[in-house]
Amino acid sequence: MNGSIPGVKALVLVMQFIGSLYAPTVSTAPLEEQVEIALAEQQPFTCGFEVQALVLYSIAVYWYDNIQRAREILDMATSKALALGMNSGQFAAGNSQGDPVLAESWRRTWWQLYLADAHIASSNHATTFGTSQRNVLATVELPCEEANYNSGNIPHPKTLEDYDNREFALDDDTDFSSFAYLIGLARSLDHTIIGIPRNSEENVHAICTNADASVAAWLSLLSKSKRKFFRDDRTLDELLFKANMLIQVYTVDIHRSLSTLAYSAIEAVSSCAPPPPPERLAPVYYSDAHIHTTKILRAIERMTDMLTLPTRIAVHSPFTICMIATMTIAHLSACKYVLKGEQLKIARERIRVAMGALEVFAEVWPRGKKVVREVKIVARELLSLGAGTEAREPTEVRSLLDANALLILDDSLTIDADSFARADLTGYFGFPSSDWELELGLASSDVSLRTGFPFEVTGV
């Protein structure tokens, strides 16, 4: 890349800095200093390359555990992108000099900014974010497949209108890229979950209903080529992986306050875990609690299955860290309040899978190391581990917890996990029961895992 082009120097330095995080023998401090100097240099004008540098750098700084600085950098990227008009469908064509690869790069820049903004807002439990569809009208066309982008063979881009009307497409071969599907899912979650008040059970119930409907629609309208995690060349589709992780973590997040998985005050230690609901679970919802608990336990199982896929954990997006932490804390609550016997033993093994994944991320990202410690502190309290906690009685546990931070304190209200398998979920949200239970066949083993999403692992 030509370093004389405004913004390119900073972009190259940012990529080198991120690369150094994965190379233990390379010192990151000098590269970070060079990035800061490059970004501080007075540019003659704002350009797309500068926005690219800022977006990538904000993600790295966030997981380098400088959250405030990351937010500042991302806000700067948003401000510059909007000043350039990168949210407009005309920007890519008007600023690419007829180069389709550069035009595709500009489209990807806006959507990566949108996704990073949404991820950081969600991880910080923010009520809104700068590029949210509630704040910014985006008419940018959707990205193409990674293979097309890498080869330079850029097809005619599809639009948001194409995506939003995909259920009525007359062409059976109509397909969208994995990136487009991820964007589509994020937009749905933006509309149905992010920033929607959860100050009453009625609001939470509505959020669950709307979000579950959006997820069901997303899953049912996936093209056949997107119903497997692995491509024909045996490489993992990271974008589909991230999309499915989002589905599972949001399922855990939104359904938990209506479930039997109690919140404990110790969970406030976690910077990833969502805050507890402001009210106790109203009696009117007790009849539905087992359904919400079932959805959570299934989501946890699916996420753990994804973590056992034959891939390198460290190459996944670092935003996976908070997803795993949120899921694990809910799983710990299940171990304390719901699961018994063999189910409890299996759950502890699955928690070990999650903790192992977090430990791998912690080797790269400093904030990952912090998150691991936070989850361990929560676990030791919920599982009554360590000196002086083994014989702790329920009354002693109650004294540690804020009344508003715990939904269920009475063990008599806890539902036996065995009953979940017998629960008739068909029709609760109008979902078909059988379509989501497809085989995830691992060609490299004799194991066949039952999952709750229409994906199979092939070519491994």
Angle at which helices 201-220 and 238-256 cross, to 10°: 160
d(CA 30, CA 195): 38
Task: Return the SS3 of 65.
Answer: coil
Task: Return the SS3 of 450.
Answer: strand
Element (H, E) at 326: helix 320-337
Q: In sequence order, what are the beta bridge partners of 230? A: 236
In 309-434, DSSP assigns E strands to none
Q: CB within 8 A of 441, min separation 6: which ones?
A: 448, 456, 457, 458
In the block, tokens 């702790």 appear at 392
Q: What is the pLDDT of residue 285?
A: 52
- Dihedral (CA of 375, 379, 381, 386) sign: negative
Task: Return the SS3 of 437.
Answer: coil
d(CA 347, CA 353): 10
Instruction: Please give the mean pLDDT across all residues of the chain.
Output: 83
DSSP assignment letter at 154: P
434: pLDDT strictly greater than 70: no
| Global confidence as pTM | 0.84
DSSP assignment letter at 142: P
Q: φ and ψ at 285, to 5 degrees?
A: -95, -5
Confidence at 409, pLDDT banded by 50, 70, 90: very low
Confidence at 278, pLDDT banded by 50, 70, 90: low
Nearest CA-CA partner of 348 in 388, 398, 318, 382: 382
413-430 pLDDT tens trace: 333 434 333 333 322 222
Nearest CA-CA partner of 46 in 10, 99, 93: 10
Q: φ and ψ at 234, to 5 degrees?
A: 75, 15
Longest dimension (CA), the chain: 72
230-264 pLDDT tens trace: 998 999 999 999 999 999 999 999 999 999 999 99
Mean pLDDT of 354-372: 97
Mean pLDDT of 54-71: 96
Cα 448 to Cα 352, 442, 451, 453, distances in angstroms: 21, 7, 9, 14
